[in-house]
């Protein structure tokens, strides 16, 4: 496992640019060593690979687009999502804009049997080492942030035994994810520069990925609030990732169940 190439984060625009610069500052002193290799468990990937559309339910307490959403207890929320039929849990660990923290991830991995995704803005190998140490099953890698280093970060994520959800928002980013050898690709409907949501992005790029021969797992992400909206990706996506509408619902198990109703 070689060292990772340096990232040029000054090219990342808008809110996302600010967040990733802050995260890079948080990890400036951390060791860039890859850490010990672990066997691939592929639990996250397997949980999304069934015949039904799977739900990745997100523990999301706040966000740049919504402000404060709900003061969720991470472990109780994850148990509620599990009861509501979620296949996997996503936990935001970014502290300034999403009110996340490492302890939230740690408490969720101890509270549920479901695989857990570390949702953060990965800009340093230490963030992946932490995810493995905290028993996450997967980590998010964003092509808009990692650019041409996506393949190297993917290799390190796999080296640590983790699955990677490789996130894209446009055709050029999809090409990077495919060339990097991603096994799980998430298409974000939210433009992270403007924060605008366009639910036509996921179906379009998911179809394109299949036309390009991608046989792995495809996840539609962001902006889903109703079963009608989820219906737009049934039969196309393997999974949907939903945060704000579930987290702000007041009854997480019921909201998860209702969202998945056909």
Ligand X SMILES: O=C(O)c1ccccc1NCC(=O)[C@H](O)[C@H](O)COP(=O)(O)O
**Least Å distance between CB 61 and ligand X?**
11
**Least Å distance between CB 53 and ligand X?**
15
CA distance 12 to 21: 9
Contact 59, 86 (CB under 8 A): no
Q: How many residues make up the chain in this entry?
A: 262
Whichever of 151 and 243 has its CB closer to ligand X, that residue is 243
Whichever of 129 and 190 has its CB closer to ligand X, that residue is 190
Among candidates 139, 75, 61, which has minimal Cα distance to 103? 75
Whichever of 116 and 159 has its CB closer to ligand X, that residue is 116
Contacts 24+ apart (CB under 8 A), 132-136: 132/35, 132/38, 132/160, 132/161, 132/162, 134/102, 134/105, 134/106, 134/109, 135/106, 135/109, 135/110, 136/91, 136/105, 136/109, 136/162
Q: Annotated catalytic sites, by residue?
A: 58, 60, 119, 167, 188, 221-222
Q: Report phi then psi at 217, rounded to 5.
A: -90, 135
Return all residues near 235 (Cβ < 8 A) that are at least 6 apart. Answer: none
User: Which run of H or of E encompasses 66?
Assistant: none
Give the CA count within 13 Å in the CB-facing half-sphere of 66: 18
Whichever of 155 and 191 has its CB closer to ligand X, that residue is 191
Structure tokens at 209: 């990925």
**Least Å distance between CB 222 and ligand X?**
4
Residue ranges that bind ligand X, judged by CB under 6 A: 15-16, 58, 60, 63-65, 188, 190, 192, 195, 221-224, 241-245
Whichever of 73 and 225 has its CB closer to ligand X, that residue is 225
**Least Å distance between CB 119 and ligand X?**
7
């Amino acid at each position: 496992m070689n060292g990772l190439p340096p990232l040029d984060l000054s090219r990342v625009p808008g809110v996302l640019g600010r967040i990733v610069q802050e995260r890079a500052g948080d990890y400036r002193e951390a060791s860039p060593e890859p850490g010990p290799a672990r066997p691939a468990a592929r639990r996250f990937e397997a949980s999304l690979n069934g015949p039904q559309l799977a739900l990745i339910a997100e523990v999301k307490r706040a966000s740049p687009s919504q402000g404060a959403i709900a003061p969720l207890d991470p472990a109780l929320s994850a148990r509620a999502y599990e009861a509501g039929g979620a296949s996997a849990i996503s936990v935001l660990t970014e502290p300034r804009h999403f009110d996340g923290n490492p302890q939230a991830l740690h408490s969720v991995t101890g509270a549920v049997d479901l695989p857990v995704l570390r949702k953060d803005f990965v800009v340093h190998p230490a963030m992946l080492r932490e995810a493995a140490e905290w028993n996450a099953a997967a980590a998010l890698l964003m092509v808009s942030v990692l650019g041409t280093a996506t393949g190297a970060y993917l290799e390190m994520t796999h080296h640590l035994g983790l699955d990677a959800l490789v996130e894209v928002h446009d055709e050029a980013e999809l090409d990077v994810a495919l060339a990097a050898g991603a096994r799980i690709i998430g298409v974000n409907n939210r433009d992270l520069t403007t924060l605008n949501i366009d639910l036509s992005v996921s179906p379009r790029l998911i179809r394109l990925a299949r036309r390009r021969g991608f046989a792995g797992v495809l996840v539609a992400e962001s902006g889903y609030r109703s079963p009608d909206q989820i219906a737009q990706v049934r039969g196309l996506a393997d999974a949907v990732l939903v945060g704000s509408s579930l987290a702000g619902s007041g009854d997480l198990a019921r909201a998860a169940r209702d969202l998945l109703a056909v």
